[in-house]
Structure 1
């Protein structure tokens, strides 16, 4: 793929549609709300918008329990609304990526309704049904990712069905060619409507062990952890045959020009990179969540960048993610000052960055009262802090009631700071985190070295991470102070430089000699020259 391919040089912006913009006052964001905010996304400078699921759904898991892969839930709008959104995004040169959830359906999907109607139904084998053990217990020890057994007894047909998540989300049998055909046709339905790609949910779960063997106990499991950690998921996910499925999915996209396949994969690095596929026939971008999972420490992050770059297959394109709808926000994890440094890291590393809505205005952790909790994981395993509601709260557009998100009651509480932390106000403040994001994006767009250029680590010294980005005659040094003490950093031997951007508003552009003094919690982009 050329380095000018949009998904290589561009920036992906994830929207959780329930929380971005409500256009009809019901307290839930929708497609028309997203369409109304396209000008904001163009102003910000991102290249692609990824929208979490909007398919028809009973909403047991807020859209990740799909009842129809070729429709839109009335909560979010209509097919005509999504067509208009695609059209208006493309007018603004924005790509539209939608979530695809192929591992499981809703238990209300017509396919599952047929499958559970009798053992003889033609769609019985579209899902994973197994007999009980002789004592009536589940077929094996597999655990649901949301807690409890992953097997649900069906009284009507006298068998268990498998669900990796909620019991309302039965897993499809991806070893069945008819399932594959139906799902690939669903992809074509959306590609024909003009979507530019898919983020594929839990892509590493699609194939299960053919013998349904027990998972081994996890010796590192500690009480108080999520129950899924009791066992090592050796047999319930990441099976060798999954790569053929991912390759076939990629082949469907290649029937259309210039589309992208992104895979959600929470696996160790050596397994993650296998999802690029043999000869790069798999996912274009197997999501890399290391910045979410690693301690905020210069040496650890330097090491993970080095290991990731070394592990990439020849020609594989890297990508980086700071946050998403399943993980605590970056501002909640490292605080507001370091969140600015994190923005510079995300937008200057080699590879495709994915931003999460609201991070650019500095939303941190939002406390959700127990009575307002919506997330089924929190309800299934209360008290463990597993709920994902805090990272799904509504966007703040202005200082009016409900932050300009809705005229009704929002489905989740807003960050209490919304009256002082909103797009309208931050756009007027040159020192705001929003304006920092915009300047970083503009700088990245203007200089190929910061988007498609090479990467060379300079140092990880104390709390400072430094690296070079290079393309042709362009050279930039990125220096990130991940600590709360000032630090002096030497420039590469024989070079001089000029600060072109600081994460701190008090420092403007300035020439740099042999050494640069980094302030506490400061990131710098320095143009290098002799």
Structure 2
């Protein structure tokens, strides 16, 4: 021993008697069941392997079996993995019953598993794996375990295909949905309105429209033949003047004899139903004038409730419409309304009520009429009725009607016109939740004042029409040859087809019409563009906007000190502001309007989108210019 008391002899501290019979071949390396506790003989308090027992340390795969090639041979020196594989195959045939076999089953391939010089080639059971020019067999016959999850045995190949298919289909579906949503997006984001609010109506006297039988009188069939003209114009509906039998047809059109029949000059009920069907097919509505005065001098009582009033069946016999009245219904006008509703009429203008404003049954009848007509059809009265009754009754009437017809005499001064417009917009018809819409008319077959409007020149008629299309509410464009009352049938029958708008300022001596009041064909395109601009611009077709839970008018009517200039300004929040400037005089006018506007673009009445400034604004006689004001 040295100074550190460490033995100096070369006697080994631990000796292991390795028998020659110890199986050292890595191809047969395995554990015995008794060796689960410990495999390392160097640890204390652990049993060592009994003598004469075959023991292969899995951590030392370089311990070779005597059946395998010994170190120093050519195969191991040259690191030949195929030689090791062949040795393993030979060893598996001789290890039956030894420690390299478990439960009588040969565990093949263990030599190559622990041999660092061998590349491993695993495959399915009995699968031949080619390598170069040799074939290697890998036998991994391992018993199935009960702890293997069930999803291991699923058909994952089919699952992968289905998942890929559904993924691609989902991507395509999402892309198609996005494209369709973009395609279906509205071109404009304007507030919704009822079909008649802000739209344009076209008033027609049927006898003054083209006829189909060349008898000199317009009729329902001739009107049906010109439906393309109406759709091109851009109007939403047609107001049809009296179609009922007259004592002196067609001159005394207001003096009717029935509310159920149609004048023979115009056609029959079959023609009427066909006309309504054609209108609806072309997205046109039909509003029928009912001139009840002087046919009725007082209103009938409402004898039944709305629930008790049943519909009246229609029977068409040889062009005539027969109505079977309900035994409890005695109100003639309610019966007439129900009959024409079944024909398809979309609204009614009850004319002559202004002559019955003192009738105590006025308000009950109006309520009953609106209940029968419904919300999707319109009920219209004249503004003269509201002016004749007291204000409380007028306010109650406007809650049960949809439109109020107001006539504007454009031959008055612009100061009077502006005053009239502002009064109506701030009176009982002030825009609000319960207020009726205004129908503005500058002409009409039933107005005596229309004769004045026909004294305008051709450009004056166009200027007045464009001005009316700038007003809030529902403008009404009148189509007719003029007031022919008092003329003979022979003179009336020779009236020029009003579909042919004449531009020459000459008087027709046969019918007494001033042809200069008609609009020429070139101006029809101007009216069509104005109607289109109105439809797409909330500033023009809407009559109010909401401000702090309160509705306010969006229209301002002004006149210039010149006396012939009328200015209408229309606006809406977060929309463009439009202004129309009308000159109803006979001379050119140059003026400074910078107090109101600075600049803008011409939309109607000049070169489209032309930039203008208002420091020296010039406008010709009998002309209306619509301008989009710059923000």
TM-score by length of 2: 0.55
Give the CA deviation at 1:415. 4.3
CA distance in 2, matches of 1:272, 1:499: 44
SS at match of 1:450: helix
Partner of 1:443: 533
CA distance in 1, matches of 2:423, 2:514: 40
CA distance in 1, matches of 2:597, 2:514: 50
Asked if 1:46 corresponds to 2:254, the answer is no
Give deviations 1:150-205, integer Å, cap 9, x for gaps.
xxxxxxxxxxxxxxxxxxxx635535748863321210111122110011111222
- 2:582 pairs with 467, 480, 485, which one? 480
CA distance in 2, matches of 1:71, 1:396: 26
Partner of 2:280: 90
CA distance in 1, matches of 2:466, 2:390: 25
Asked if 1:351 corresponds to 2:473, the answer is yes
8 Å Cα contact 1:204/1:242 also seen in 2? no
CA distance in 2, matches of 1:272, 1:295: 29
CA distance in 2, matches of 1:365, 1:278: 34
Give deviations 1:113-147, integer Å, cap 9, x for gaps.
xxxxxxxxxxxxxxxxxxxxxxxxxxxxxxxxxxx
Classify 1:53/1:275 alpha carbon distance in 2 versus 1 (closer, same or farther; 3 Å): farther
Give the CA deviation at 1:43. 1.1
Asked if 1:319 corresponds to 2:417, the answer is no
Classify 1:240/1:416 alpha carbon distance in 2 versus 1 (closer, same or farther; 3 Å): closer
Partner of 1:174: 300
8 Å Cα contact 1:276/1:283 also seen in 2? no
8 Å Cα contact 2:198/2:475 also seen in 1? no
Give the CA deviation at 1:474. 1.7
| Structure with more contact order per residue of length (Cα contacts < 8 Å, sep ≥ 6) | 1
Give the CA deviation at 1:489. 3.8
Asked if 1:262 corresponds to 2:380, the answer is yes
CA distance in 2, matches of 1:422, 1:320: 19
SS at match of 2:626: strand
Give deviations 1:400-450, integer Å, cap 9, x for gaps.
9xxxxxxxxx9x8384859xx988xx44xxxx3333222222221232222
CA distance in 2, matches of 1:172, 1:238: 10
Classify 1:63/1:481 alpha carbon distance in 2 versus 1 (closer, same or farther; 3 Å): closer
CA distance in 2, matches of 1:280, 1:417: 38
Partner of 1:496: 599
Asked if 1:465 corresponds to 2:536, the answer is no
8 Å Cα contact 2:300/2:361 also seen in 1? no
CA distance in 2, matches of 1:189, 1:434: 36
8 Å Cα contact 1:324/1:356 also seen in 2? yes
SS at match of 1:353: strand
The runs of 5 or more residues in structure 1 that have no matched partner are: 106-169, 207-236, 376-388, 401-409
Give the CA deviation at 1:330. 6.0
1:396-407 alignment runs, 5 A limit: 396-398=498-500
Number of equivalences: 390
- 2:345 pairs with 172, 195, 208, which one? 195
Classify 1:65/1:264 alpha carbon distance in 2 versus 1 (closer, same or farther; 3 Å): same
Give the CA deviation at 1:514. 4.2
CA distance in 2, matches of 1:173, 1:527: 49
CA distance in 1, matches of 2:201, 2:360: 29
CA distance in 2, matches of 1:435, 1:288: 26
SS at match of 1:287: strand
- 2:555 pairs with 441, 445, 455, which one? 455
Cα-Cα RMSD: 3.5
Give the CA deviation at 1:16. 0.7
Give the CA deviation at 1:248. 2.1
Q: Point out the more displaced range, 443-452 or 262-271.
A: 262-271
8 Å Cα contact 1:172/1:179 also seen in 2? no
Partner of 1:304: 420
- 2:207 pairs with 9, 18, 35, which one? 18
Asked if 1:513 corresponds to 2:613, the answer is yes
Give the CA deviation at 1:252. 1.4
Give the CA deviation at 1:279. 7.4
Classify 1:440/1:243 alpha carbon distance in 2 versus 1 (closer, same or farther; 3 Å): same
1:115-126 alignment runs, 5 A limit: none
1:313-392 alignment runs, 5 A limit: 313=430, 314-315=432-433, 316=435, 317-326=437-446, 327=448, 328-329=450-451, 331-358=453-480, 372-373=487-488
8 Å Cα contact 1:12/1:48 also seen in 2? yes
Asked if 1:249 corresponds to 2:350, the answer is no
Give the CA deviation at 1:303. 0.9
Partner of 1:413: 511
CA distance in 2, matches of 1:356, 1:275: 30
8 Å Cα contact 2:354/2:388 also seen in 1? no
8 Å Cα contact 2:206/2:243 also seen in 1? yes
Classify 1:63/1:342 alpha carbon distance in 2 versus 1 (closer, same or farther; 3 Å): closer
Classify 1:78/1:322 alpha carbon distance in 2 versus 1 (closer, same or farther; 3 Å): same
CA distance in 2, matches of 1:27, 1:55: 18
8 Å Cα contact 1:298/1:464 also seen in 2? yes
Classify 1:173/1:452 alpha carbon distance in 2 versus 1 (closer, same or farther; 3 Å): closer
CA distance in 2, matches of 1:288, 1:21: 28
SS at match of 2:231: helix
CA distance in 1, matches of 2:199, 2:444: 18
1:128-207 alignment runs, 5 A limit: 171-175=297-301, 177=303, 181-206=331-356
CA distance in 2, matches of 1:246, 1:441: 32
CA distance in 2, matches of 1:459, 1:492: 13
TM-score by length of 1: 0.65
Give the CA deviation at 1:81. 0.8
Partner of 1:222: none
8 Å Cα contact 2:220/2:275 also seen in 1? yes
Give deviations 1:459-518, integer Å, cap 9, x for gaps.
54322221211123221011112223313141456743111111xx6x553112343322
CA distance in 1, matches of 2:391, 2:456: 27
